[in-house]
Structure 1
Amino acid sequence: MEDFDVRTSVLILLFTLSLGICHADLNQNSGLLCSAADNSTSESSFRVNLDNLLGLLTEKRPSSNGFFKTTVGKRSGKIYGLIQCRGDVSADNCANCTREAFAVALRDCSKSKNVQVWFTWCSLHYSGEHFFGVWDQDSAAIFNKTNFENASIVSRGFDFMSEVATMAPKRPLMFHTAVLDAGKFGKRYGMAQCTRDISRRDCSRCLDTQLMTFRSSIENNRGWEVYGSSCSMWYHDYQFYSNISITANDGESRSPSIIILC
């Protein structure tokens, strides 16, 4: 049974944690947040600006290490948009995730001006209001109630993720992965990432706040994910990330970014 815990905002969450022997890191729709319906979204100028925003975010993202923000339009018709892909996915999968996120936004939030969509591999945010550089505390945790952690690993796992949260803001892309060797209990894999429009200080505050906010819900689970407007965290007992950066050191993208472990 899947469950979710929301402390700072109400989000629509769709997520399934695999319990099988074979694990795959698949790009699933993990959450959606739509503002109240706004009749101005039906105006042709807004639709044109939104289409232009989609084009820019999809085109520019690979050359920006999976992160790009821009503004389209003027005055009241201005739209601020941001896309960020998870730091280990390829440029092609990042582009595909961007298109999928926009498809969901246009389908499920067609009358909203402030929209956020979370997929496993990317997050999309666009709004008629300026939000760049502002730490947003909206977050939601998703986990499986029946997939409990071994009691002797619970505190070690939480301390491990606290270390991951400490390291992420210090990394060039505010993205960090790590492995915890739990001996006879196997390994645990952690990842943390902040949107690159916020400061490193706010990145640290964002990740720490997520851990403290959801601790009672997630710390005894073998797998959980927290998605937020400004930062996100992942913790699993299998290697879900691909260790493939969006842009390699030589500037060439690498693919694929789907990991299947049996």
Structure 2
Amino acid sequence: MKTLHFAVILVHMLTFCYADTNEQSPLQCSEADDSAKDTTFQTNLRSLLDSLLANGPLEKGFYKTKVGKKSERVFGLVQCRGDVSANDCANCTRSAVKACLDQCPKSKKVLVWSRWCFLRYSDYDFFGVMDKTSFSLSNDTDFDDPNVVSKALDFMSGLAFTVQKQPLLFQTGVLDGGSSGKRYGMVQCTRDISSTDCGKCLQSQLSDFRTTIGNKRGWEVYGTSCFMWYHDDQFYFNISTSTSEG
């Protein structure tokens, strides 16, 4: 699995809270770069972040743009989870923007993962480039029912296949665990990549993390281009997958 040269400066506790609130997961910053403090770059960055905040909630939870010219150009995108409202999308984006500016002031490449949104910007054009870089979160002591374990990865693999046909590249599903109860899954890709690459990205996560998540009752995989979550409590909202409605 590809390794990112980033500093992780926020640590996510490996205990899951199933109340669906907007908690921030690790934030990754590239190494400090004095040129990131350049006035032109900072002006372009602020303009980019303002644009993401203004347009993301209005564009069904996804917006990408670029600002500036040549070496001072900045590329960025925001992707909100497919089931959150436009208001929650805006609030999450606002928090992510603040985290970028407060915690990565000298970085030209930043990624922020939150429960409701993902924000990324860089000084190079990453649009449409599928990146398999990912990390997983789980509770090592929270093991699933052995009768469900064998079904879980197949269930998530099925979501990874069907999501490719969804216009928002977002899919949820419910696995019937019989006497062990239901399991809930979610997969999503950033909408700058193709549907085919979306499927490849998610299947890569399942392959890379199979041994660490396979027998857990709850886990989450966060990636640069795709995401997948699995829990025994429903963690997503029962609303339209469009974030264009508040």
Provide TM-score, normalisation by structure 2: 0.94
Residues in 1 aligned to 2:242 and 2:165: alpha-carbon distance in whole angstroms: 19
Match of 2:180 among 158, 173, 185: 185
Contact 2:30 2:107 (C-alpha < 8 Å) held by counterparts? yes
Contact 2:29 2:109 (C-alpha < 8 Å) held by counterparts? yes
Alignment of 1:158-169 (within 5 A): 158-169=153-164
Q: CA deviation at 1:16?
A: 3.8
Residues in 2 aligned to 1:102 and 1:183: alpha-carbon distance in whole angstroms: 43
Instruction: Provide Cα deviations, 1:141-182, integer angstroms capped at 9, x if missing partner.
Output: 000111110111101111111111111111111110000111
Match of 1:78 among 73, 78, 86: 73
Letter in 2 for 1:221: K
Between the two proteins, the alignment pairs up a number of residues equal to 242
Structure 2: unaligned runs, 5 residues or longer: none
Moved over 6 A (4+): none
1:162 aligns to what SS in structure 2? Answer: helix
Matched, 1:157 2:145: no
Contact 1:15 1:29 (C-alpha < 8 Å) held by counterparts? no
2:28 matched residue in structure 1 = 33
Residues in 2 aligned to 1:107 and 1:168: alpha-carbon distance in whole angstroms: 35
Alignment of 1:91-240 (within 5 A): 91-240=86-235
Residues in 2 aligned to 1:8 and 1:152: alpha-carbon distance in whole angstroms: 33
Structure 1: unaligned runs, 5 residues or longer: 1-6, 255-262
1:24 aligns to what SS in structure 2? Answer: coil
Letter in 1 for 2:158: E
1:129 aligns to what SS in structure 2? Answer: coil
Q: CA deviation at 1:212?
A: 0.3
Letter in 2 for 1:244: I
2:227 aligns to what SS in structure 1? Answer: strand
Match of 1:18 among 16, 19, 23: 16
1:164 aligns to what SS in structure 2? Answer: helix
Residues in 2 aligned to 1:18 and 1:136: alpha-carbon distance in whole angstroms: 26
Matched, 1:90 2:88: no
1:57 matched residue in structure 2 = 52
Match of 1:9 among 3, 18, 21: 3
| 47-56 or 204-213, which deviates more | 47-56
Residues in 1 aligned to 2:13 and 2:129: alpha-carbon distance in whole angstroms: 27
Residues in 2 aligned to 1:80 and 1:148: alpha-carbon distance in whole angstroms: 41
The two structures, once aligned, show a CA RMSD in angstroms of 1.5
Provide TM-score, normalisation by structure 1: 0.88
Q: CA deviation at 1:243?
A: 2.3
The share of aligned pairs that are identical, in percent, is: 51
Q: CA deviation at 1:15?
A: 3.6
Contact 2:83 2:242 (C-alpha < 8 Å) held by counterparts? no
Residues in 2 aligned to 1:18 and 1:80: alpha-carbon distance in whole angstroms: 32
Residues in 1 aligned to 2:95 and 2:127: alpha-carbon distance in whole angstroms: 22
Residues in 1 aligned to 2:188 and 2:241: alpha-carbon distance in whole angstroms: 14
Contact 1:17 1:223 (C-alpha < 8 Å) held by counterparts? no
Instruction: Provide Cα deviations, 1:176-224, integer angstroms capped at 9, x if missing partner.
Output: 0000111111100000000000011110110000000000000100000
